[in-house]
Amino acid sequence: MRFSKLKVFVDGWCPMCKKFGRILVKLDLLNLINIEDIRIAEVPSQNFRAKGLKAIASTKSNGKIYFGFDSIFQISLLIPFFWIFIPFLFVLKITKFGAFLYSELAMKRTIIPLHCDKDCDAV
């Protein structure tokens, strides 16, 4: 079986997102996933970046784009540790309950702005 590589974009200002990215790197035994910070990475469009800041985004090497739970599902297909959960995740995907659960989790994440632009007070 041949797998397509997946580029996963995480929010570099979200500690939970960054931790998820580090865990993926450790679990990626097949070396099929690349993690990038969506805030600084080259992305297909500004619309992609805007959507990706609200939900985890990913792109396959064949050009397909995924957001939110669909990204999680694609990640699970590439990590052998998650293969046992694929039937359960598939049910969540087709019932759309996975998207609902993901959106609930994404709303509770913490964003820590690690930048200073023109709105910051000069010290």
Q: What global pTM score does this model have? A: 0.83
Could you state, in order of their start, the residue ranges of all structural domains in the chain?
6-107
Query: Which of residues 104 and 96 earns the better pLDDT score?
Result: 96
> What's the confidence (pLDDT) of residue 110?
62
> What's the confidence (pLDDT) of residue 2?
74
What pLDDT, in 10s, does the model give residues 25-48?
A: 999 999 999 999 999 999 989 999
Distance CA 78, CA 76 (A): 5
Distance CA 112, CA 88 (A): 33
> What's the confidence (pLDDT) of residue 120?
42
> What's the confidence (pLDDT) of residue 113?
63
Residues near 59 by beta carbon (within 8 Å), at least 6 away in sequence: 6, 7, 9, 44, 65, 66
Distance CA 105, CA 101 (A): 6
Is the per-residue pLDDT at 70 higher than 60?
Answer: yes
Q: What is the CATH number of domain 6-107?
A: 3.40.30
Query: Which of residues 113 and 101 earns the better pLDDT score?
Result: 101
